[in-house]
Chains A and B, each alone.
Chain A
Amino acid sequence: MIRLLAVLALLLVAQPAQAHKLKLFVTQEGAEISGKAYFAGGGAAIGIEGQVLDSQGQTIARLQTDAEGRFRYTPPSDAPVRIQFESGDGHMAEAAIGQISRPPSPSVASDVDLETAIARQLTPLKEQLDRMESRARLSDIVGGIGLIIGLFGAYAWVVSRRGKTS
């Protein structure tokens, strides 16, 4: 058993630990919402269906991811919306988009262009951050195993005390 756990530990160190979970990454460029659905640590979620909900929870549009797991959507109004994706086997991911900022007037169009350009440049960086956050970390794994040992140890202690008093 100890050898087996050692092999497992090696496996974990050798490959980056991954979490199997549907993730949704959403950004806003001007009035358009674009995003990507993917399985944490795995590939893109291709061709899965999602929906856009308004603040009352009503479906206002349906979405489907393309071959790269990406989708685009332009909301009709500025109201906050929620985007929800679900794969057939019971995974679900949700993202909320707050107030949508539209260009206030044509005179500041160049500012808006700049903002859009910056947002586009930042998108891959944000996606990477999002991915990193969803990874299981080695410290979490070791901490979890420690908790299990402690928990069962404490239970064994309680049980052994009960045995002595009776």
Chain B
Amino acid sequence: MAHIPDGVVSVPVLVAGAALSVGGMALGLRRLTPERLPKAAMLSALFFVASLVHFPVGVSSVHLLMGGLAGILLGWAAFPAIAVGLVLQAALFGFGGVVVLGVNLANIALPATLAGLLGRRLLARPAVAGAVAAMGAVAGTAVMVALSLALSGREFLVAGQALAVTYIPLMAVEAVATAAMIGLLAKVKPESLELRP
């Protein structure tokens, strides 16, 4: 799952995740201009509560991530927004460990940012842009979680299969939700998308 608990991943993966996260945070904080702060806070809160919306998939259940939405609206500034949400989820809900925060942040925020930046190029058609960002973010997170587990000595295919089963329905749900939200924002509040003329 996206929130890896303590004690599962190995030390090199922890260090790599932490390094990626520090880099992403440095880039993100520079892009976090005062005008973007309210938007970042809103998306941070959305990310924080979205993890409580569950739906059952097979024997397990999966929760929303909403990384794609943060990525498309904030770009690199999604990093600090997701970081705040993740820290609070770990502290208040016990989602994911404390030592692995760097790995979890990299696994969620990096694909979210990259997919969001890709989505921003397609903003001429907002719904398509939203769907691409959401699906890219979820798929990227699934691959990165499977990689983190594989590099820690877990079976890549076992983890990959378990993740694919739960993440493909999640991709569909998030794509529809994000497409609807970006579509709505483009209509009623286009300045929130920061379209350059």
Using a CB–CB distance below 8 Å, which chain A residues touch chain B? 1, 4-5, 8-9, 11-12, 17-22, 39, 41-46, 86-94, 134, 136, 140-141, 143-145, 147-149, 151-153, 155-156, 159-160, 163
- 6 further A-B contacts with Cβ under 8 Å, apart from A12-B52, A91-B5, are A43-B60, A89-B1, A90-B1, A90-B159, A144-B49, A147-B88
* Residue B163 CB within 8 A of the other chain: yes
Q: Say yes or no: B93 contacts A92, CB within 8 Å.
A: no
Task: List A contacts of B34 (CB < 8 A).
Answer: 156, 159-160, 163
Task: List B contacts of A151 (CB < 8 A).
Answer: 41, 84
Contact of A148 among B41, B148, B149 (CB under 8 A): B41
Q: How far is the CA of A75 from the CA of B48 in the complex (A)?
A: 42
Q: How far is the CA of A89 from the CA of B40 in the complex (A)?
A: 30
* Residue B56 CB within 8 A of the other chain: yes
Q: Which residue of B lies closest to A46 (CB)?
A: B59
Q: How far is the CA of A139 from the CA of B51 in the complex (A)?
A: 16
Min CB distance A91 to B, Å, is 6
Q: Say yes or no: B41 contacts A41, CB within 8 Å.
A: no
Binary interface encoding of chain B residues 26-49 relative to chain A, with 1 for a CB under 8 A from any of its CBs, else 0: 000000101001101110111011
Contact of A92 among B8, B56, B59 (CB under 8 A): B8
Contact of A42 among B8, B54, B93 (CB under 8 A): B54
Task: List A contacts of B148 (CB < 8 A).
Answer: 90
Q: Say yes or no: B59 contacts A43, CB within 8 Å.
A: yes
Task: List A contacts of B60 (CB < 8 A).
Answer: 39, 42-43, 87, 89
